[in-house]
Every structure is written in C-alpha cells, then in structure tokens.
Structure 1
C-alpha cells in the first residue's frame, strides 16, 4: 500500500512538472529588454524561441517570426530541439507510468508493470534534464551579453519562461527519481519475501522428514546400526 502511495505522489509530481515544461515552450517572455543603461524606456522588447516582439507604451505589440530556421543562432536551435525532446519524453513517460503503476488494472504481469514504471521514471528524468539544459543555455547567453562591457546592442534580462521551465524540470527529475526508488524498494521487499518463503519451506521439509523417520521407528525397538563384523 505504501509503495502504491509513493507511485501516486511521483506521478503527480511528474505530471505537474511536464505541464510546466509544456507551457514553457510557447510562453512569450523568454527574455525581456532591460532598462538598465538604455535611453528608450517607452518600449519593451521581448523574445522567445519562435519570435521577437516589441510592446509600446499603449500596450500594442508588434511581433515578427524568425524568418529562417537555418539562419538562427545555434543556441536557439539547440534550445528548440531540447524543449521538443523534453515534451515528447514527458508525454510517453506519462503513458508508461499510467500503464505501469500498481493502482491501474492494465499492463500485464507485475514484472512487466515494474519495467514500465522504471522506464517512465528514466524518461521523466531525461525530460527534466533536457528542459533544464535548454533553459540554462538560454539564460547563459542572456547573462553573458548583459555583463559584457563590449556588447553595445539591446541587453535583455531573464524572462518568466525560464523560471517556469526550471521549476518544471526539477519536478520531473524528482518524480522520476521517486519512481525508480519505489521500484527498487519493491524489488527488495519481494526478494526478502522470497527468501523467507524459501527458508520456511526448507524448515518445514526438514521437520516433515524427522517426523516421518520417527513414525517408521517403533518405540523401544533396538537400533539397526550394526558393527563392521556383524555378518562375519
């Protein structure tokens, strides 16, 4: 029962993390223009993985999609690939977790469900690591340009999407680790039960053999052990 509750907690953590990771991908504010050291304060520039926009003082936004994927900076292409991989891994991890959890009635035998559970745990861990890497690469580029004294273009600060992505990746990794630890605990309990069952079976068999030998021997009958020269 405790193992089942642990799996439910891990599933809730991983699903929450995957939802945050999925919402990070289309979120607008990956980076926001900084007002530090700039003269233009009436407009706000912001970008994500798909477009760059500017919002004026009246709240009207003008956006421009990135014209070419091949002409993009390498870090944006890497972040795109990692985020898409993170969403896909989390999606299949959720399916395998639903099939492999003990509280569900699908998935086949206990061994098959255990394998699906550990597979979903590894997928959620990879999903969280992919999202964490993408957000860290993007944040590293922003901070590098911000603190570079020779960079004279518009400087940006970390957007809300990066913090949402980091939070979701932590939840995915934590839930995946709980899945794997709950599986190892289940295996250890199963091994202990098998060992105790085998030991009781051997003890019962020995007791049965001793009882059978006692029944065949009549009370007060002489022992049938003979000396070496008994038939000489």
Structure 2
C-alpha cells in the first residue's frame, strides 16, 4: 500500500509539473522591460519564443512574430527544441505512468507494469531536465545582456514564465525520481520474497522453531556402547 501511495503522489507531482511547463510555452512574458514616465508606465516591452510585443499605457499591444526560424538567434532555436522535447516526453510519460501504476487494471503482470512505470519516470526526469535547461539558457542570455555595459539595445528582465517553468521542471524531476524509487522498492521486495520461498523444496514445510541437536549426544552414545559391548 505504501508503494501504491508513493506512485500516486509521484504521478500527481509529474503531471502538475508537466502542465506548468506546457503552459509556459505559449506564455507571453518570458522577458519583460518597461519605460516609465513621470506618473505611469508609458510602455511595456515583452517577448517569448515566438514573438516580441509592446504594450502601451492604454493596454493596446502591438506584436511582431519572428520572421524566419533560420534567422533567429541560436539560443531561441535551442530553447524551442528543448521545450518541444520536454512537452512530448511529459505527454508520453503520463500515458506510460497510467498504464504502469498498480492502481490501474491495464499493463499486464506486475513485472511488466513496474517496467512501464519506471520508463515513465525516466521520461519525466528527461522532460524536467530539458525544460530546466531551456529556462536557464534563456535566463542566462537575459542576465548577460542586462549586466553588459557595452550592450546598448533594449535590456530586459526575467519574466514570470521562467519562474513558473523552473517550478514545473523541479516537480517533474522530483516526481519522476520518486516514481523510479517506488518501482525499485517493489522489485526488491518481490526478489526477496521469491528467494525466501524458493529456498524450501516444493512440498516441504518450513520447520517451526527447530530444536538444536546437542553435539555431544552421538559421542556419548558411542562411549556407552563401547563400555557394554563385551559384557
């Protein structure tokens, strides 16, 4: 029951992290910057993996999609690939986790279900690592440009999508690790129980509290027999 509860908690963590990571892919505020006037903010500049926009004080946004994928900066292309890989890995991990969990009725034998659930945990871990790498790479580019005194273009700060994505990535990694450890525990318990049962031949009962035979009993009998053998 404890391993089943651990699997359920791990599945909740993994799916929650995957949903958070997936939600940041179309989110607007990956990086944000604002120009402040004397009283109110006059304009807010923000950008993500797909477009760059500006929003004025009235709330009207003017966006411009990136014109060509081949003309993009290298870090944006890498982040796109990592994020798409993270979403796909998390999707297949969710399906495999549903099939391999003990509380479901599909997946075959317990051994096959354990293997499928372990594969799902590895998928979630890889998904979390891919998304974590993408967010960290994007944030590194923002901070390096912000603190560069020779960078004269518009400087941005970290957006809300990065913090949400970091939290989702950590949840995916923790949930996948917990799922793998729960399966490893079930493998260990099954191996121990199998070896304990197979140590006794079929049809032979396990002795209950066997009484030890004294080591000197046979020798005392032989000595008694030697004394009376010629009488």
TM over 0.5: yes
User: 1:91 — aligned with what?
Assistant: 91
Instruction: Describe the superposition over 1:200-228 as per-residue Cα deviations: whole angstroms up to 9, x where unpaired.
Output: 44893697xxxxxxxxxxxxxxxxxxxxx
Contact 1:34-1:155 at 8 Å conserved across structures: no
Q: Give the RMSD, CA atoms, in angstroms.
A: 1.8
* 1:32-181 pair list within 5 angstroms: 32-34=32-34, 41-181=41-181
Q: Secondary structure at the match of 2:63?
A: strand
Instruction: Describe the superposition over 1:4-56 as per-residue Cα deviations: whole angstroms up to 9, x where unpaired.
Output: 110000000000000001001000000001559xxx95111000000000000
In 2, Cα distance between equivalents of 1:92 and 1:206: 46
Q: Secondary structure at the match of 1:204?
A: coil
In 1, Cα distance between equivalents of 2:201 and 2:176: 38
**Cα–Cα, structure 1 residues 67 and 7, in superposed 2: closer, same or farther, change >3 Å?**
same
In 1, Cα distance between equivalents of 2:88 and 2:77: 17
User: 1:199 — aligned with what?
Assistant: 199
Residue range with higher mean Cα deviation, 130-139 or 198-207: 198-207
User: 1:215 — aligned with what?
Assistant: none
Contact 2:34-2:43 at 8 Å conserved across structures: no
What displacement does 1:141 show?
0.2
Q: Secondary structure at the match of 2:106?
A: coil
Q: Secondary structure at the match of 2:154?
A: coil
Gaps in structure 1 of 5+ consecutive residues: 208-232
* 1:14-25 pair list within 5 angstroms: 14-25=14-25
In 2, Cα distance between equivalents of 1:25 and 1:8: 26
User: 2:223 — aligned with what?
Assistant: none
Q: Which runs of 4+ in 1 moved over 6 A?
A: none
User: 2:215 — aligned with what?
Assistant: none
Contact 2:35-2:43 at 8 Å conserved across structures: no
Residue range with higher mean Cα deviation, 106-115 or 137-146: 106-115
Q: Secondary structure at the match of 2:53?
A: strand
In 2, Cα distance between equivalents of 1:151 and 1:43: 21
Q: How many residues align?
A: 204
What displacement does 1:101 show?
0.4
Residue range with higher mean Cα deviation, 158-167 or 197-206: 197-206
Gaps in structure 2 of 5+ consecutive residues: 208-231
